Amino acid sequence: MNEAKRKKLKKSVKLGVLAEKAGTNQVYLSKIINNHAKPSLELASKLAELANQMTFSKTYKAKDFL
């Protein structure tokens, strides 16, 4: 995920809530957002969908989380 999107997501969403809704944990989500882990395409798609819902936008795509 690029720096601008990472900052916006961290500012707009509680990562613990996003992780819980996506069925993962906050540590793993943090690694994904900081480009230290690569999730499955299914999880990346789910994270993008949830991030968009939680920020009331269409900013995030699955590729942002891969």
CATH of the domain at 12: 1.10.260
pLDDT of residue 60: 97
pLDDT of residue 21: 98
Is the full-model pTM beyond 0.75? yes
At 13-57, the pLDDT tens digits run: 999 999 999 999 999 999 999 999 999 999 999 999 999 999 999
At 2-12, the pLDDT tens digits run: 999 999 999 99
Torsional class of 10: left (φ above 0), alpha (ψ -120 to 50), beta (otherwise): alpha
Domain that holds residue 28: 3-65
In the Cβ-directed half-sphere of 52, how many Cα atoms lie within 13 Å? 14
Count helices and strands in the chain by DSSP H and E runs: 5, 0
User: 32-48: string of b/e by CB count within 10 Å (b at 16+)?
Assistant: bbeeeeebeeebbbbbb
Amino acid residing at 60:
Y
